[in-house]
Amino acid sequence: MPRKVVQGPIRDKEKTKQKLLAAVGKILRVKGYSGLKVSKIAAVAGFDKKLIYEYFGSTDKLIDEYIKSQDYWSKFSPNIEEEVQIGKGKDALTQGILMQFESLKKNKELQKIILWELSESKPILRKLVEQREAVGADLFGNVTDPYFGEDAQRFRAIIALIVSGAYYLNLYPAYNASEFCGLDMKTDAGRSEIEKAIVDIIEFAYQMKK
């Protein structure tokens, strides 16, 4: 009779890694970033803390991998060549911001990460910010800057206001009141008005260029 293979951390490394990553998310959601201690992560995952060092190298690297898996902009990858030829960045930016607006609403862990970025200065958080900026730099530098020419910096400023507003309008109702400027950010109707405004503002910027 064949010997039964027992599943465990050694035989199933990937499954163990996913449980450790999930433990980071659970702690962020329940305790916040102050709860992200190596012993706590290991306890929530149900493993010895030595596995964190064995599979990730350090607690910071584990948290870094988790953060990257949650951050929308780190995974945003428009087709630059296609945008240069056809979209001029408009469709990519519009869809990207709308999807980020919706993603942040659903992802409570990402909300915690954004708040963490605003309250502490840490290498893993600075690295995430730099990764986001690198994604934007590719689209701005190769697509929208050449298209807008002397107005390129103003267009960047417009997008900066829209993106930061999309962040804030998700964080504000999650922790305080639900209404902002009389729009209920916890309702589909209120969020729909913001989404339409995002589309209108970007469209207006491109119309002004024409």
Handedness of CA 20, 25, 26, 31 (dihedral sign): positive
Partners of 183 in the β-ladder: 180
* CA–CA dist 210, 207 (Å, integer): 5
Average pLDDT, the chain: 87
Q: Which two tokens stand for residue 188?
A: 């589909």
| Residue-wise pLDDT tens digits, 24-74 | 989 988 888 888 899 999 999 999 999 999 999 999 889 888 888 887 777
**Closest to 89 measured CA to CA, from 27, 32, 127, 138:** 138
| Residue-wise pLDDT tens digits, 117-165 | 888 887 878 888 888 888 888 899 999 999 999 999 999 999 999 999 9
| Residue-wise pLDDT tens digits, 105-125 | 888 888 888 888 888 887 878
pTM of the predicted model as reported, rounded to 2 decimal places: 0.78
* CA–CA dist 93, 159 (Å, integer): 8
